[in-house]
Amino acid sequence: MSTQSGITVSDELANKVKQDGSTIVIKVSPDSTQLIPDSSFSQPSSTSISSIFEQLHSYIAKQFPQPAYIILPYESSKVFISFIPDSAPIKQKMLYASTKNTLLSNLGSSSFAYKFAWTELDELSAEYLEKVINEDGESGPLTEDEKILQSLNNQSHIQGHEYGFKRELASMYSQSPSSAASDILYKFDQELENEFQNLSIDANDQRLLIFNIDLGSESIKLTKKVAKVDLDSLIQSLQSNSPSGPTYSIYNYSPNHYTFIYSCPSGSSVKDRMIYAASKNSLINHLKTYLNDDTLLDKNLEVGDLDELELSELEGTDDTSGSATPASTSSSASASKPSSGLKFNKPKGPRRR
User: The whole model's pTM is what?
Assistant: 0.46
Listed residue (324, 314, 160, 181) closest to 251, CA to CA: 314
Measured from the Cβ of residue 146, the count of other Cβ atoms closer than 10 Å reads 19
Strands 208-214 and 114-118, how do they pair?
A: unpaired
Query: Residues 179-184: contacts with CB within 8 Å, 24+ apart?
Result: 180/282, 180/285, 180/286, 180/288, 180/289, 181/286, 181/289, 183/155, 183/158, 183/159, 183/282, 183/285, 183/286, 184/279, 184/282, 184/283, 184/286
User: Quick check: 143 pLDDT over 70?
Assistant: no
Give the per-residue pLDDT at 297.
92
Confidence of residue 215 (pLDDT cuts 50, 70, 90): confident
Q: pLDDT tens digits for 247-290?
A: 999 999 999 999 999 999 988 888 888 889 888 888 898 899 99
Give the per-residue pLDDT at 274.
85
Give the per-residue pLDDT at 350.
59
Mean of pLDDT over the chain? 79
Give the per-residue pLDDT at 133.
87
Listed residue (281, 256, 273, 258) closest to 209, CA to CA: 258
Q: pLDDT tens digits for 160-179?
A: 433 333 333 333 333 444 44
Confidence of residue 229 (pLDDT cuts 50, 70, 90): very high
Q: pLDDT tens digits for 72-131?
A: 999 888 999 999 998 998 888 888 988 888 898 888 888 888 999 999 999 999 999 999
Confidence of residue 2 (pLDDT cuts 50, 70, 90): very low
Query: Cβ contacts of residue 44 below 8 Å, gap of 6+?
Result: 23, 51, 52, 54, 55
In the chain, pLDDT over 70 holds for what percent of residues? 74
Q: pLDDT tens digits for 25-82?
A: 999 999 889 999 999 999 998 889 999 999 999 999 999 999 999 999 998 889 999 9
Give the per-residue pLDDT at 145.
58
Residue pair 220/276 in contact by the 8 Å Cβ criterion: no
